[in-house]
Amino acid sequence: MHAAEGQPVAAAATKKVVPLTAHKRDDMLIMQNPSEEEAAMNVPNIRIMTPSDIVAAIQLWRDTPGMGLNVYDDSPEAIARFIERNPRTCLVADDGKELLGCVICGHDGRRATIYHLAVRQDARLCGVGKALVAACESAMSMEGITKLRLLVFKTNEGGNVFWESVGFHARGDVVYRDKHVNIVKDSKDNKENKDNKSSFLSGGECDIMESLNVESRDC
């Protein structure tokens, strides 16, 4: 629900955040806070991300300290493809007018991965991040997914504290590996395309993509 008219979002910092509930209507995932008690607690409005949210979402990621964006995977076109493939699991939090936070989450039919959870600086400590995570969990449960995963750098203390607080525990029994594929280099068209994306993202190319929540990062 929206904050009271004229009341800054940050004023909800001391209020209890109630987990969101979810149901389906017309094959769409609807997040809602059905009780009057929840309404009085300024729980943020959580809704499905649409293509019209992409520019604001990328701007939020750009404005989040410690977060970098990959030129190839985080362009507006790439994010549009991601939400097209995952139409009910990419979410935003807003106050009815402006974006407060967002997250993109997708699955392969077996496991889900959370990317790019971010909350606007002046909306932090109000439960927005936790509400988005709860909404992701509800959405993935409705998709039949039983496990969610994410990546955070070891040096990101704030991000690791946050994720531990919402039940995402570190594992010491696995080694993460990755490899870049399908990246065309040195062609004129590719250079121009890369320059255009770098200008939009204002972050340059990162060989290791950084993301996830308040200063948390994903590689």
Confidence of residue 29 (pLDDT cuts 50, 70, 90): very low
Cβ within 8 Å of residue 81, ≥6 positions away? none
How far apart, in whole angstroms, are the C-alpha atoms of residue 102 and residue 169? 22
Average pLDDT, the chain: 74
Across the range 97-107, mean pLDDT stands at 96
Residues linked to residue 112 through DSSP beta bridges, in sequence order: 107, 148
Token output for 216: 């948390």
In eight-state DSSP terms, residue 51 is G
CATH class of 9-201: alpha beta
H-helix or E-strand containing 163? helix 157-165
**pLDDT tens digits for range 171-204:** 999 998 989 887 665 545 445 444 444 444 443 3
**pLDDT tens digits for range 150-162:** 988 787 788 889 9
Q: Is 34 helix (H, G, I), strand (E, B) or coil?
A: coil
Q: Where are the chain's structural domains?
A: 9-201
pLDDT at 155: 76
Total-model pTM: 0.69
Q: Is 128 helix (H, G, I), strand (E, B) or coil?
A: helix
Across the range 81-108, mean pLDDT stands at 96
Least confident of 19-23, 60-64, 90-94: 19-23
